[in-house]
Amino acid sequence: MDEGSAQVESRQLKVAIIGGGLAGLAAAVTLMDNAEVTIFEKSNGLGGRALTAHKEGYDINQGPHALYIGGYAHKFLDELKLLPTGASPNISGGKAYYKKRLATLPTTLSSLLSTGMLSLIEKWQLANIFKRLAKIDTEALKGKTVSEWLDSDVRSPAVKETIAAFIRLSSYCNNPDMMSAGAAFAQMNLSSQGVLYLDHGWETMVKALAERTTEKVQFKIGVEVKELQRFGDDTGIHVCTSEEDEVKSKLFDAVIFAVPPHSVAQILRQYDPHDCFADALAQMDAIEVTRAACLDVCLKTLPIASTTFALGIDEPLYFSVHSTSAKLAPPGGALVHAAYYLEAGRTGGVEHRKRLEQYLEEIQPGWRDQVVYERFMPNMVASFGCATASNGGHQGIAGPLLKGAKNIYACGDWVGSGHMLVDAAVSSAVEAATMILTSNKIMAHSR
Ligand SMILES: Cc1cc2nc3c(=O)[nH]c(=O)nc-3n(C[C@H](O)[C@H](O)[C@H](O)COP(=O)(O)OP(=O)(O)OC[C@H]3O[C@@H](n4cnc5c(N)ncnc54)[C@H](O)[C@@H]3O)c2cc1C
């Protein structure tokens, strides 16, 4: 037993969670039966990137959001009986946008046979690749990039572009020269199990988790954590916040960061004068961020009712009418999400907005006359991590335990391997919480 665990045996374990998005909430719910938890959230509400805006009867997520049916977050919420309602989009009836024209998106055998975007030989190649990918050994391909795999295993440029487009769709990542092929194919296989668009938006997950918390979870909303301190022989960690008087002297046994990696690095640099976790910080600095330029549009009515999904094949474009499957718009209205998957290192700008608006015009001519509300967000971080081949397929850092930092953990979509996006955020949160309970000799309750 280490020093820290001896101290907390006779009293309740105190854990600070920095960040009140889905990861912070998942960690709190996992800890709350066995610890006193304080969640610090710097903005004026919980939710982070899972927040939903409400305008004139439309529920608008921050860019297109879909919950993977076979993914970790879905399972976690389902086990807690907190799974929100929603429905799956009909992607098999969708369109491919290729060479500036719309064609049938090849997702099933019949759509593959009928699509006009591929020649007969290309259809045969793609069918074989889909078959192969469904049972490919993704572990063995963790260290190979998507581009390396496509160059060695696929001949037709159109088929390469199609596979790359499905990878972008399932992972948000437009970085084939760095992305791990193993992680990419695992995510593609996950997405083939289907996704859910959630009724009334992702905020429903935030609300469900917040409502599940007990009095053992305290919320400090509008309170930014500025630094951590450790004094003399204290075994605990002082969390210093923007509301100094109240919390400055508050001591915690453990801390979970559920914030972006640059925020963790900023706080840890001050906390660590001896550079004990230089390796962890260097890893955080090197993380590849996955970004998209997002255009969210509320329409009075959809000009072409039959076109509800269109995936760019030779351009990194996305279009989907989320309100076709989920309750997100008033009767007759349509909530459209369009996105431009940004290449690594690129930031979004007016040119991306122009391109997305043009894309809408090509898919839904006359859409401008129907606009109730439009929002462009040039630089949304879909994931603070990207599973690269050079780091063995993990998202950013290998796991929640920060080497060298005793009782300090991190979670988010940039932590761990085997999951992406919200599945990575929630799984690393549960892992961090479980590590705290086990290192303090408390068994996590099975849900
Ligand atoms: C455009 C877009 C599309 C996406 N689509 C999908 C999708 O289809 N499927 C999917 O699975 N995932 C998707 N995601 C990803 C998903 O939204 C995130 O993985 C998930 O919401 C991350 O939750 P989090 O709690 O880890 O981080 P965040 O939601 O970023 O929460 C971090 C919180 O920490 C707070 N904070 C930061 N610093 C401090 C501090 N010093 N003190 C106190 N609080 C602080 C922030 O205010 C924020 O609320 C998408 C994301 C975006 C942006």
Residues near 327 by beta carbon (within 8 Å), at least 6 away in sequence:
59, 85, 199, 200
Residue 373 belongs to a domain: yes
Residue 85 belongs to a domain: yes
* Interval between CA 44 and ligand 1 midpoint (Å): 15
At 145, which CATH number? 1.10.405
Q: Strand runs (DSSP E) across 275-360, as ranges?
A: 290-299, 309-312, 317-321, 334-341
Rounded CA separation 144/265 (Å): 28
Q: Which of 383, 400, 429 is the last residue of a domain?
A: 383
Tell me, yes or no, whether 295 and 376 share the same domain. yes
DSSP state string for 201-223: -THHHHHHHHHH--TTEEEEET-
At 296, which CATH number? 3.30.519.10
In 3D space, the residue among 299, 41, 80, 325 whose CA is nearest the CA of residue 200 turns out to be 325
353 lines ligand 1 (CB under 6 A): no
Residue 95 belongs to a domain: no
* Interval between CA 48 and ligand 1 midpoint (Å): 5
> Which structural domain range is residue 139 located in?
119-191
In 3D space, the residue among 152, 172, 108 whose CA is nearest the CA of residue 340 turns out to be 172
As for how many domains the chain has, the answer is 3
Q: Which of 142, 168, 191 is the last residue of a domain?
A: 191
Can you say how many angstroms the Cα of residue 417 is from the centroid of all Cα atoms in its chain?
13
25 lines ligand 1 (CB under 6 A): no
Residue 374 belongs to a domain: yes
Name the residue of 67, 206, 422 whose CB sits within 8 Å of the most ligand 1 atoms, as the mutation to test its pocket: 422
Residue 196 has which token pair?
């859910």
Residue 356 has which token pair?
């997305």
φ, ψ dihedrals at 189, nearest 5°:
-65, -35
Residue 103 belongs to a domain: no
Rounded CA separation 195/144 (Å): 27
At 249, which CATH number? 3.50.50.60
The dihedral built from the CA positions of residue 325, 328, 332 and 338, taken in this order, carries a sign that is negative
Residue 399 belongs to a domain: yes
Rounded CA separation 63/55 (Å): 15
Tell me, yes or no, whether 7 and 83 share the same domain. no
* Interval between CA 86 and ligand 1 midpoint (Å): 20
User: Ligand 1 atom 18: the closest Cα is on which residue?
Assistant: 422
Tell me, yes or no, whether 268 and 279 share the same domain. yes
* Interval between CA 302 and ligand 1 midpoint (Å): 30
Tell me, yes or no, whether 229 and 171 share the same domain. no
Tell me, yes or no, whether 40 and 58 share the same domain. no
Name the residue of 65, 252, 431 whose CB sits within 8 Å of the most ligand 1 atoms, as the mutation to test its pocket: 65
Rounded CA separation 401/3 (Å): 18
Predicted confidence pLDDT, tens digits, the chain (447 residues): 344 444 455 578 999 999 999 999 999 999 999 999 999 999 999 999 999 999 999 999 999 999 999 999 999 999 999 999 999 998 888 999 999 999 999 999 999 999 999 999 999 999 999 999 999 999 999 999 999 999 999 999 999 999 999 999 999 999 999 999 999 999 999 999 999 999 999 999 999 999 999 999 999 999 999 999 887 666 789 999 987 655 556 899 999 999 999 999 999 888 876 677 788 888 888 888 999 999 999 999 999 999 999 999 999 999 999 999 999 999 999 999 999 999 998 999 999 999 999 999 999 999 999 999 999 999 999 999 999 999 888 888 999 998 777 899 999 999 999 999 999 999 999 999 999 999 887 644 433
In 3D space, the residue among 185, 187, 162 whose CA is nearest the CA of residue 111 turns out to be 162
20 lines ligand 1 (CB under 6 A): yes
